[in-house]
Structure 1
Amino acid sequence: MWHHTHPVWHHAASPEGHWLAYTIISSLIHGLIYGAIFHLFRGLGLGMVLIIAVLGVAAVAGVWWFVNRPKHNREEY
């Protein structure tokens, strides 16, 4: 299998246990983020939450497009 020879896999499964600390810290950060999102959306109707979600996805897509557009299309400021 590929994960037995991939160098990142060996680093992630190192005997020092870094993967465990990363997993714990990552889960705590995700929990805080999801808790904040649920707190902000509490009391809003489903329609309003969907509108906010669509606007958020559109904003992220717009920023991604703006950053990654070809250089020849950019105006020099």
Structure 2
Amino acid sequence: MGIAVEALFTSALGLQPPWVVDDVRLDTAKRRIDFEIGCHTSRLACPACGAATQPVHDRLRRSWRHLDFFQFEAWL
């Protein structure tokens, strides 16, 4: 029995709930792997003060370069 690719990379990236890898796209010609990261909740702790269950108000799409996975550039 195998593990889903998304679950494998969620673990490899060290993500904790509610953060998960929703999709993985590999482009061998460009030597690039793209991870679609999702947050499946409407409330999170405030990163500044730590107050619990604050409403999520920013869902802008962004991209970050991560450390390479083997020979592939990794983008989140």
Q: Which of the five TM-score ranges fits, normalised by the shorter chain?
A: under 0.3
Task: Pick the structure with more helix per residue.
Answer: 1
| TM-score, with structure 1 as normaliser | 0.21
Larger RCO (CA under 8 A, 6+ residues apart): 2
State the structure with more CA Rg. Answer: 1
